[in-house]
Structure 1
Amino acid sequence: MQTVVVSTDNIYVLLLIGMAGMCLLASAVVIFYIRNQKRLQRQREAEIRYQKELTYAVIQSQEAERKRIGRDLHDDVGSALSNLKLFTVQLQSHRPEAIVLYKDFRSQVDVILDKVRSISHILSPAELEMFGLEESIEELCLTIHRMSAMEVTFDNQVPEALKKLSYDRGLALYRVLQELFTNTVKHAGATGVSVSITRVDGLLRCTYRDNGRGLGKVRPGNGIGMRNIESRLSMIGARYHLQDPAEGGFGIWIDILE
């Protein structure tokens, strides 16, 4: 009888050892899994940081190239056309047919000069460095109105806050508005656009709306334009929200840290 009791005790001991071993094994598996997940998470975060840094570098390079091209257009082509315009004044004669030809030629030069100035401004907004973001957006709205004949309104309710916005954030917002205007002019068939700057929950909110055909069934992230917008906003830590297509037209709210 005593021998049976000893054997049962041995079985209990073996069971306890087995259970402890299983617990240790399970703990080791869990620890390995957690460590592996943390390692994968660190890798994903590193990849995201690398993508952001790469996007930032590409955008900075694009901005530098745009500034160079815009400056060359303004300084070289613009100056050459201005000199040509002055030269034609010296060739003006008193014959009626020559005066008509002169006026036609001069009007064409004026058109080319306006186009060069517009392209130069779009590539390199000098107003942004010289006068600030508010004046740059106003000039952009005026340029879009002249080029497309759309009614464009701009309402800045927080001028002081907009002046304090850093240059990088201001440039990113300016480029986003350029992209939005381009999409509206090319695809929306709109007759009017409104841009407003307000403050909501401690953030600067830029609201852009047009009265065009809207996105419809097109997914917002599919277009290159929206991907560029997402990249620029992500670079400055801004968020955006799209208007419900059922409301008609196109609308986007952009929230930026001051």
Structure 2
Amino acid sequence: MSQWENPGLVVEWIWIGIGLFFLTTLLITVLIINYLKSIRKNKQKVMQLVRNTQTECWENTLHLQERDRERLAEELHDNIISHLNVIRLNINHKNTEELNLDLKKSMQQIRELSHNLTPPDLGEIELTDLIADYLDQISKTIHVDFRHMITDTLISSPVKLNIFRIVQELVTNILKHANATKIDVSLRISLEYLMLTIEDNGSGFKQGTSHHGIGLRNIQTRAQKIRAAYKLKSKPERGTKFIACVVIES
């Protein structure tokens, strides 16, 4: 007798088929639910990472703004206001030509301060020209040797701005604290990386000690914004050397 001629056996196979279908459907449903939960968890992690990154960027921005305010206050107090006060005290002891020369020096200091604080027009000027223009003003105070080797590579505006500000920060601190007579600046830009080197022949400092004049925290913040690796080398009476490397993203 064939199995299909036995109604009980047919019903049993039908129920087995229904059971297997139910189990398969249940298994697929569980897998889909777990997959959707995993997607939601990953999405939450990504959103949290984005929020953390935004918070960190905002904190870095506030820090840089505060540093610029402190620098502006320091420059106004230590240089410009002090210089103008000397002119005021000597107004009755100097002739017109000497006073005119002193006023021109004060105007030049104000012009340099404005140039340092004003964001440059990054879209219409190359990074080498930006740095060269700044160093040309500094060369009136100290001997500067600027060497550069570049290829036809597109540099993003954030990289331009932060590299330029790092140069300003380092040169400003060299002029204030290093007692140097020469600054060597080297900029190399290839298709894959950007390499910046700044070296002076000043007094240097012992590494591992607190050296607030270098503005290392400000440099570190700007380097992090463009994912730059950097190293600062210095020895007492042996000068200071700064090297930074940025990977060029295509």
Question: Is it true that 1:142 corresponds to 2:140 in the alignment?
Answer: no
Q: Report what 2:222 is aligned to.
A: 232
Kindly indicate which of the two structures has a greater share of residues assigned to helix. 1
Q: 1:124 to 1:255 in 2, by over 3 A?
A: same
Q: Is the 8 A contact 1:127 1:135 kept in 2?
A: no
Q: One-letter code of the match for 1:174?
A: F
Q: 1:127 to 1:134 in 2, by over 3 A?
A: farther
Q: Report what 2:196 is aligned to.
A: 206
Higher mean displacement: 57-66 or 212-221:
57-66
Question: Is it true that 1:57 corresponds to 2:61 in the alignment?
Answer: yes
Q: Report how many residues are paired.
A: 184
Provide, for residues 62-84 of structure 1, a one-character-per-residue CA deviation record: whole Å limited to 9, x for no partner.
69989xx9xxxxxxxxxxxxxxx
Question: Is it true that 1:119 corresponds to 2:113 in the alignment?
Answer: yes
Q: Secondary structure at the match of 1:198?
A: strand
1:130, distance to aligned residue in structure 2 (A): 4.4
Question: Is it true that 1:153 corresponds to 2:145 in the alignment?
Answer: yes
CA RMSD of aligned residues (A): 4.0
Q: 1:224 to 1:52 in 2, by over 3 A?
A: farther
Q: 1:63 to 1:221 in 2, by over 3 A?
A: closer
1:106, distance to aligned residue in structure 2 (A): 4.1
Q: Report what 1:187 is aligned to.
A: 177
Which TM-score applies when normalising by structure 2? Answer: 0.59
Q: Could you tell me which runs of 5 or more consecutive residues in structure 1 were left unpaired when the two chains were aligned.
A: 1-41, 70-99
Provide, for residues 25-66 of structure 1, a one-character-per-residue CA deviation record: whole Å limited to 9, x for no partner.
xxxxxxxxxxxxxxxxx7x97896365323343267569989
Q: Secondary structure at the match of 2:53?
A: helix
2:231 paired residue among 206, 225, 241: 241
Q: Is the 8 A contact 1:197 1:206 kept in 2?
A: yes
Q: Is the 8 A contact 2:64 2:218 kept in 1?
A: no
Distance of 2:241 and 2:124 partners within structure 1:
30
Q: Could you tell me which runs of 5 or more consecutive residues in structure 2 were left unpaired when the two chains were aligned.
A: 1-44, 73-93
Distance of 1:127 and 1:50 partners within structure 2:
25
> Identity across aligned pairs (percent)?
25
